[in-house]
Amino acid sequence: MITHLTVLYDERCVLCMRCRDWMSRQDMLVPIEFVGAHSLRAAQLYGAIPWLGEELVVVGDGGEVWAGPAAFLVCLWALADYREWSYRLAGDTFSKVAVKFFATLSKKRRWIAEWLDHPGCTDDRCRVTHARPIYR
């Protein structure tokens, strides 16, 4: 039985840090510790994991390791309001959609992070200003 998870995220990525902040504010069914994947601590404890720093990685207290889309689903599974969604997304109907969603998000995360890091972004909100109205 899993009683604790460690999420290894890219602490150099604005999107990843925002996701970490969002997760840390959620009600958790399983406690989660967040560790930067490029940190000395991650290298010392998890340096043998081949995807470290390249993919989202989740490690269970029993030595289980999930990476990429599977790690994403484990993160959802640990959150009270999203456990049911983790089961739905892992099932036959939505598993391919979940994998494609996570793969696309991962592939575009640097672009998304750049967009999120523009001067109009503070805390967990972004304000985009336009020189002229979009709708009249």
pLDDT, position 5: 98
Check: CB of residue 41 under 8 Å from CB of residue 59: no
Question: Is residue 17 one of the residues assigned to a domain?
Answer: yes
pLDDT, position 94: 65
pLDDT, position 132: 39
Residue 71 φ then ψ, to 5°:
-65, -40
Question: Is residue 78 one of the residues assigned to a domain?
Answer: yes
- Per-residue pLDDT of the chain in tens (136 residues, 90 and over written 9): 999 999 999 888 877 888 899 999 999 999 999 999 999 999 999 999 998 988 899 999 999 999 988 899 999 999 999 999 889 888 877 677 767 766 666 666 666 666 665 454 555 554 544 443 433 3
pLDDT, position 117: 59
Question: Is residue 132 one of the residues assigned to a domain?
Answer: no
Global pTM reads 0.75
Question: Is residue 79 one of the residues assigned to a domain?
Answer: yes
pLDDT, position 115: 61
Question: Is residue 136 one of the residues assigned to a domain?
Answer: no
| Rounded CA separation 27/45 (Å) | 26
pLDDT, position 84: 94
Number of domains the chain contains:
1
Q: Which domain holds residue 31?
A: 5-126
pLDDT, position 111: 64
The number of C-alpha atoms within 13 Å of 75 and in the hemisphere containing its C-beta is 24
Question: Is residue 131 one of the residues assigned to a domain?
Answer: no
HEC assignment per residue over 72-132: HHHHHHHECCCHHHHHHHHCCCCHHHHHHHHHHHHHCHHHHHHHHCCCCEECCEECCCCCC
The CA–CA distances, whole Å, from 59 to 7, 31, 45, 80, 111 equal 7, 12, 11, 19, 27
